[in-house]
Amino acid sequence: MIKKYFVLIFFAFAFNIQAQEVKIKKDELLLYSQFGEFCTMCEATLVCTDELVGADDSFLDNESYVLIHLETRTFWSQISTIWEFFIRNFDGYEVKGHSRPAILYYSQDGKWSDIEITNARISVDPNLIKMKQFVIDRVSREWSTQENQSLGSCKRLPLWKTLEYIDQRIPKSKKNE
Amino acid sequence: MNRVSQIILGSMLVIFRVLFGLFWLLAGINKINDEWMTSPILENIFLQRLTELPPDSFAVFYLTKFAIPFYQPIGWFITIGEIYSAVGLLIGLTTRSSALISFFILFNFAIGGYYDASLLPFFILVLLFFKYPTGQWFGLDALLNKYFPENRLFR
């Protein structure tokens, strides 16, 4: 009898650890909560480059990269979350992705050559962010083309500091043109 | 407005009330399953949200000074409040109080930094459920009001 309890406790413990692992993995995904919901009003900034990104402050001033600002979901996309939240209560109907606006800043040796406004498709299973020409793996952070050719890797940047940096480099009026 | 359109609009409001109740019920059950009342999960949610909000926003003040220190009673209030409102709206029992509690929860979500456009239809609906006696049209309020005509809960 005691042996049975030990086996039961072992399985309960193992299951608990497994559940925690799944939660941690989900929690770590960009713009995604531990409860399997996409954050509608969250924003994120990423920098993608062909080499591993260093963390120093001068990187954005001097290097070549694509800086990506993932904006909040649009008004109607936010309204649609009512349905997403409702349907996720039923097995197999979990919403696995959405689109939101993104701004891409292209830098060549620190000089911003182009700014592109596009739509980013963010998904779980597979954990990807797809933009026009790029795909970012949200787990490995690998940055590649739609044809699966590696371009480098991406790194999440501190949001508010980076937005301040962008505003300093480009006044808002210019960004909206 | 003629009688037919009144009946149609009233029926639509009752249907929305039932759907809203169902939505709230699922949300409340999820919160029980996610242990909002018994674990520090809500504190983690608030702490996570803090990192996503503009540092000078009112929501940051609200979270740091009120929501995070009192996360456990808040977890209880939201979970029980949602389930109470859900049952009330579903079966038309104390319908207007249920709408008022729903409004209060939604309002706190909004000022706590969990605002987005999806809250707008909810706000409009709860205000309509509060304004019109939908529990009298379809629900237990109609029955209970006969037995307790002085009681404001069943009006």
Q: What is the pLDDT of residues B49-70, one digit of tens each?
A: 898 898 899 999 999 999 999 9
For A42, which residue in chain B has the nearest alpha carbon? B52
C-alpha A161/C-alpha A55 separation (Å) is 13
Judge contact between A31 and A128, C-beta under 8 A. Answer: no
Provide mean pLDDT across the span B141-154: 92
Whether residue B114 has pLDDT greater than 70: yes
The residue ranges of chain A whose pLDDT is under 70 are 1-28, 34-36, 52-57, 171-177
The ipTM estimated for the assembled molecules is 0.81
Within 8 A of B30 by CB-CB distance, chain A residues are 35, 89
List all residues 6 or more positions away from B142 whose beta carbon is below 8 Å from its beta carbon: B92, B135, B136
Q: Cα separation of B142 and B55, whole Å?
A: 49
Q: Which of B27, B52, B121 sits opposite A39 (nearest CB)?
A: B52
A108 to A41, A45, A81, A167, B102: CA distances (angstroms): 31, 18, 38, 19, 52
pLDDT of B92 > 70? The answer is yes
Distance from CA of B117 to the nearest CA of A (A): 5
Q: Is the pLDDT of residue B14 over 90?
A: yes
Distance of CA A175 to the CA centre of its chain: 22
Q: Which residues of A touch B110 (CB under 8 A)?
A: none
CB contacts < 8 A, A to B, total: 43
Q: How far apart are CA A175 and CA A103, in angstroms?
A: 9
B interface test, pick of A73, A78, A84, A95 with most B CB neighbours within 10 Å: A78
pLDDT of residue A51: 77
Task: Evaluate if residue B37 carries a pLDDT over 80.
Answer: yes
Q: What is the pLDDT of residue A172?
A: 58
Tokens standing for residue A24: 């941690």
Burial A127-140 (b: 16+ CB within 10 A, else e): bbbbbeebbbebee
| Cβ <8 Å between A43 and B121 | no
Please tell me if residue A163 touches chain B, with a CB cutoff of 8 Å.
no
Residues A39, B55: C-beta atoms closer than 8 Å: no
Q: Which residues of B touch A89 (CB under 8 A)?
A: 26, 30
SS3 label, residue A95: coil
d(CA B80, CA B87): 11
Q: Which of B30, B45, B116 sits opposite A78 (nearest CB)?
A: B116
What percentage of chain B exceeds 90 in pLDDT?
84
The percent of residues above 70 in pLDDT, for chain B, comes to 100
